[in-house]
Amino acid sequence: MGMTKSVKFKIVDFSEDGYHWLIECHLNGNGFYLVLDTGASRTVIDKNILGDIELEQHPNSLVLGFNSQTDSVSTATLKSFYIGNVEINNFQVAVSDLSFLSSSYYEISGVKIGGVLGCDFLMNYVTSINIKRQRINFKNIGE
């Protein structure tokens, strides 16, 4: 049994607007941050950073909470991407145009946001989140 992997996240303080936890992600050679959101049911990636990954349409899906979108959802299966130095394979994400969110976020914080890392990811891959040390601890993947 290997050592438990952990990845450091950074905290963005929006003063009276609260906090975001950001975790570094790499996909297709692009580096960006995902907002770690324990309240989001699904992981959502900005379609503008996906490149030519094939999208699947789900006309009657319901995504609760995320920008109140209840009409139709596209998904993509990410064959390989990295959260910090941890490789994740064959993970299905919801896909949306987050360019507005991304640009306003960049203006406020100087950080490039590529989406939201939701509860579906956390339940599958994460054992714990240490807020004091700013680390998420991963299950032993592929063992």
Dihedral pair phi/psi, residue 105, rounded to 5°: -65, -40
The pTM for the full model equals: 0.84
Q: Where are the domains of the chain?
A: 6-138
Whether the per-residue pLDDT at 116 is higher than 90: the answer is: yes
Give 8's strand partners.
135
Res. 65 pLDDT band, cuts 50 70 90: very low
pLDDT cut 70: percent of the chain above it:
85
Superfamily of domain 6-138 in the CATH hierarchy: Acid Proteases (2.40.70.10)
The beta strand positions in 28-112, using DSSP E, are 30-36, 44-46, 56-58, 73-83, 86-96
pLDDT of residue 54: 81
Residue 21 has, within 13 A of its CA and on its CB side, a CA count of: 17
